[in-house]
């Protein structure tokens, strides 16, 4: 048995809940503390890459994922005129052992929450518990919680270790890095929505159109809608905007006229971007932000995970997947280092993940695999008659392969696991 018997996880998002499932499997008693009173199926679409689907499959969730998400068939990059730059198969179609899923973030979170409660018990998740302070003690961690709405103290809890999975505005990260300040703003704003529409291309196609300062991303996310012959399309419109919205305004519903005119001519025939935007019931605004990679995640018996450790630009479909990989690495280290003390074990987890995720953060700042769209924009801003005159297949493939290796889903390596 591990020297770690109990764990507290701060944050009931995707990373925190998968971590709870992984640690439970190693025999650790786990409690998850979530600040909000009620966890709801909020958010829009995300992608789960094959390496994260492998982890969730190992946790016994393959059937539930198939019912909840839509397997992505291919990814296609096009320019602002809808001309194809690069297309590649994804998931099972690309020869991976596991699918890539496009899925509603809220539905995935509720699936994970149900699984945690079923396997660990209802009492394993405490909502309405906002972390206020904590201390490393000789034999564990003491954490103090309150009700954020009322200010009422909810007492002190202790465990052998504490995992901070409390997001980009992490209380724990701020404690160890008090002078870090606000997240770093990219200069770009994301507007996100979901629209029921006529299926485009294969009906399971993820497309990215445009270039760095003006981009449109779309992919269907609902198997139920697809079974009815329609398509529930998750989409993101992105523009360069000098001023970052105030944090209090993040994720607020906004008027489409704030950004829609910039895309008024983006009807590609096979995808009508203005119509997709117009027919969305609601649109939400987010700044595209990240934070600099950290020199250290682990402090005694406390460590960081997911967006608390490595928030990154939503490029390459990696955010949620990397949090899931963190959880897998932590569970793996605990299982393999049964005789090690807690501090050594957490440092071993950090050694597996800190540099790897830092590389992704920095690569995403250079647009990751989406750099191909900017290359084509720079070389052919008015479109092209022959793509080979602009960029070679070799250059395109090298960019795609390099990013898969950086992000940990190179097919041969992953399939060998």
> Mean pLDDT per 10-residue run, the chain (417 residues)?
90 97 97 94 91 98 97 98 98 98 96 98 97 96 96 96 97 97 93 96 97 97 96 97 75 90 97 97 92 98 98 90 98 92 96 97 95 98 98 97 95 95
Tell me, what's the pLDDT at 248? Answer: 60
Report yes or no: 285 and 190 within 8 Å, Cβ to Cβ.
yes
Q: For residue 80, how far is the Cα from the chain centroid?
A: 26
What was the pLDDT predicted at 243?
81
DSSP for 174-221?
HHHSTT--SPEEEEEEEEEEEEEE---TTSSEEEEEEETTEEEEEEE-
Give 3-state DSSP helix, strand, coil % of the chain, rounded to 5.
40, 25, 35
Contacts of 384 (CB under 8 A, 6+ apart): 79, 83, 376, 390
Please state, in angstroms and rounded to a whole number, the distance separating the CA atoms of residues 20 and 6: 11
The per-residue pLDDT for 161 is 98
Question: What pLDDT, on a 0 to 100 scale, did the predictor assign at position 301?
Answer: 98
Q: How many residues would you count in the chain?
A: 417
Distance of CA 69 to the CA centre of its chain: 15
DSSP code string of 286-342? EEEEE-PPPS---BTTEEE-GGGT----S-SS-HHHHHHHHHHHHHHHHHH-TTS-H
Q: Are β-strands 29-33 and 125-126 bridged in parallel, bridged antiparallel, or unpaired? A: parallel
């Amino acid at each position: 048995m591990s020297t770690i018997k109990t764990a507290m996880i701060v944050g009931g998002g995707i990373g925190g809940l998968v971590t709870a499932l992984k640690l439970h499997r190693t025999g650790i008693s786990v409690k998850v503390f979530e600040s909000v009173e009620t966890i709801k199926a909020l958010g829009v679409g995300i992608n789960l890459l094959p390496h994260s689907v492998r982890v969730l499959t190992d946790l016994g969730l393959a059937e539930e994922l198939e019912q909840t998400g839509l397997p992505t068939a291919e990814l296609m990059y096009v320019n602002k005129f809808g001309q194809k730059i690069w297309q590649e198969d994804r998931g099972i179609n690309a020869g991976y052992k596991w699918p890539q899923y496009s899925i509603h973030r809220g539905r995935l979170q509720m699936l994970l929450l149900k699984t945690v409660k079923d396997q660990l018990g209802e009492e394993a998740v405490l909502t309405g518990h906002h972390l206020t302070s904590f201390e490393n003690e000789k034999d564990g961690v003491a954490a103090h919680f309150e009700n954020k709405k009322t200010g009422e103290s909810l007492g002190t809890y202790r465990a052998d270790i504490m995992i901070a999975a409390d997001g980009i505005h992490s209380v724990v990260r701020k404690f160890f890095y008090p002078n870090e300040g606000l997240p770093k703003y990219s200069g770009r704003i994301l507007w996100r929505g979901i629209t029921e529409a006529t299926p485009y291309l294969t009906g399971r196609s993820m497309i990215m159109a445009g270039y760095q300062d003006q981009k449109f991303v779309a992919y269907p996310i609902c198997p139920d809608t697809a079974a009815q012959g329609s398509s529930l399309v998750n989409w993101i419109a992105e523009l360069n905007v000098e001023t970052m919205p105030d944090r209090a305004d993040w994720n607020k519903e906004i008027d489409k006229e704030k950004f829609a005119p910039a895309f008024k001519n983006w009807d590609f025939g096979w995808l009508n971007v203005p119509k997709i935007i117009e027919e969305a019931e609601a649109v939400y605004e987010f700044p595209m932000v990240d934070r600099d990679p950290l020199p250290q995640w682990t402090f005694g018996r406390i460590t960081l995970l997911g967006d608390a450790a490595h928030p990154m630009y939503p490029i390459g479909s990696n955010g949620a997947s990397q949090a899931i990989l963190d959880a897998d690495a932590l569970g793996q280290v605990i299982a393999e280092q049964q005789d090690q003390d807690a501090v050594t074990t957490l440092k071993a987890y950090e050694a597996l993940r800190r540099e790897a995720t830092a590389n992704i953060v920095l690569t995403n700042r250079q647009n990751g695999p989406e750099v191909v769209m900017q290359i084509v924009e720079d070389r052919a801003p008015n479109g092209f008659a022959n793509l080979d005159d602009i960029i070679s297949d070799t250059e395109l493939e090298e960019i795609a392969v390099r990013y898969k290796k950086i992000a940990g889903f190179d097919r041969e390596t992953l399939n060998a696991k």
